[in-house]
Amino acid sequence: MRKGRHVSAILLTVALFLLGPAALAASPIKVGFSMALTGSVAQNGKQLIIALELWRDDVNANGGLLGRPVEPVYYDDQSNPTNVPGIYTKLITVDNVDLLLGPYATNMAAAAMPVIMQHNTSADGTRENATAGGFKIIYDQSYPPSTTDFAPVMRAVQAANPDIVFVAAYPPDTVGIVRAAAEIGLTPKMFGGTMIGLLITPIKTQLGPLLDGIVIMESFVPAPSFNFPGVTDVLKRYQAKAAGEKIDPIGYGFVPFGYAAGQVLAQAVETTKSLDHARLADYIHHHTFYTVVGEINYAADGAWAQPRTLLTQFQKVAAGNIDQFRDGGVQPILWPPQYKSGTMIYPYAAAKK
């Protein structure tokens, strides 16, 4: 796949800047970013904060960066992109941070929610891929951000009688869309998309068997092919911190990549012995990084040189069982082939039996 990339894949495109004069050796290296700690995508933002705190602790336990401790500086953008420009201005001009990481998620990174919601970043890639694949798009609509009743939306989709239904939605909408699809008896041959809510374990648990047959993208799954060095330890420590915090207790969807973002940043700084943004950017574009999500290297356009967005399908999901999502058995990988761990049930209706 070319576009249609993970709409929430924040932190592996790392924005780096030299911000102000060199600091004294004893002073911390400040890494600034905004994060969604309240609002519609707070469930994901809170996971990323813990991941970056674990990374900070590990870096500092090993002597810091360039012999200086690392200090994250961040503010809650409230899942609202209109808050993002002001936060980054403050980080640069008031907090004088040394480096920056991007926010979560796509809308916050672009800091232009009204425009992006109108034009649907993820859907743009879908349109391009559909056209390239020879598919005919027969229904292409957005819905107001304030929508809470998705039955009329899904009835309109059903009326178009599509073979494939692709949905791009953030967490609050995902539950309503999946429930509405079940309520009206949606019957395409394939159903799924970039439904970010389905990366959150409590939402998966809540929906249970309603998920059966849905195909979604994932960035990390519990499979033997994804048991990269260090990831088990990071997830174990995250899960200990997440206990009782009313956030995802497992953290597969976001924690490994949040931690890996810090690793990319640290390896670039340590190898170049620099905080110069141009030097760091050049290094990142031309070298391989070894992280808890495996080897990472970038193409000239800033995307991964080897795309690794996964397609997975929910199969035989039980009701009210959170532990079933720990080993990946009910959500096998369909693509790419080198990570495949199961076979797709097709058409969608066959998975509902």
Q: Do 231 and 285 share a structural domain?
A: yes
Residue 279 lies in a domain: yes
Residues 84 and 352: their CA atoms lie apart, in Å, by 42
Q: Do 193 and 277 share a structural domain?
A: no
Helix pair 255-272, 42-61: axis angle to 10 deg: 40
Q: Do 84 and 139 share a structural domain?
A: no
Residue 303 lies in a domain: no
Q: Do 313 and 211 share a structural domain?
A: yes
- The structural domain count of the chain equals 2
pLDDT one digit per residue (tens) for the chain, 353 residues: 344 444 333 344 444 443 444 433 469 999 999 999 999 889 999 999 999 999 999 999 999 999 999 999 999 999 988 898 888 888 888 999 999 888 887 777 765 233 224 434 666 778 888 889 999 999 998 888 889 999 999 999 999 999 999 999 888 899 999 999 999 999 999 999 999 899 999 999 999 999 999 999 998 988 888 899 999 999 999 999 999 888 999 999 999 999 999 999 999 999 999 999 789 989 999 999 999 999 999 988 878 898 888 999 999 999 999 999 999 899 999 999 988 999 999 999 999 87
Q: Do 104 and 63 share a structural domain?
A: yes
Angstrom CA distances, 44 to 98, 198, 221, stand at 25, 11, 16
Q: What is the pTM of this model?
A: 0.84
Q: Do 219 and 124 share a structural domain?
A: yes
Q: Do 186 and 120 share a structural domain?
A: yes
Residue 105, preceding peptide bond in cis (omega within 30° of 0) = yes
What CATH code is carried by the domain that includes residue 57? 3.40.50.2300
Residue 316 lies in a domain: yes
Residue 22 lies in a domain: no
Q: What is the pLDDT of residue 139?
A: 92
Residue 16 lies in a domain: no
Q: What is the pLDDT of residue 1?
A: 39
* Token digits of residue 86: 């002001």
Residue 336, preceding peptide bond in cis (omega within 30° of 0) = yes
Q: What is the pLDDT of residue 13?
A: 41
Q: What is the pLDDT of residue 118?
A: 40
Q: Do 126 and 108 share a structural domain?
A: no
The b-or-e profile of 115-148 (16+ CB within 10 A means b, else e) is ebbeebbbbebbbeebeeeeeeeeeeeeeeeeee
Residue 258 lies in a domain: yes
Q: Do 252 and 144 share a structural domain?
A: no
* Token digits of residue 199: 């990366």
Q: Do 240 and 201 share a structural domain?
A: no
Residue 18 lies in a domain: no
Q: Do 331 and 292 share a structural domain?
A: no
In angstroms, the first-to-last Cα distance of the chain is: 30
Q: Do 132 and 219 share a structural domain?
A: yes
Residue 184 lies in a domain: yes
Q: What is the pLDDT of residue 4?
A: 41
Instruction: State the sign of the Cα–Cα–Cα–Cα dihedral 335, 338, 341, 344.
Output: positive
Q: Write down the number of H helices and E strands in the chain.
A: 11, 10
Domain with 268, as residue range(s), is 29-113+227-296
Residues 91 and 342: their CA atoms lie apart, in Å, by 45
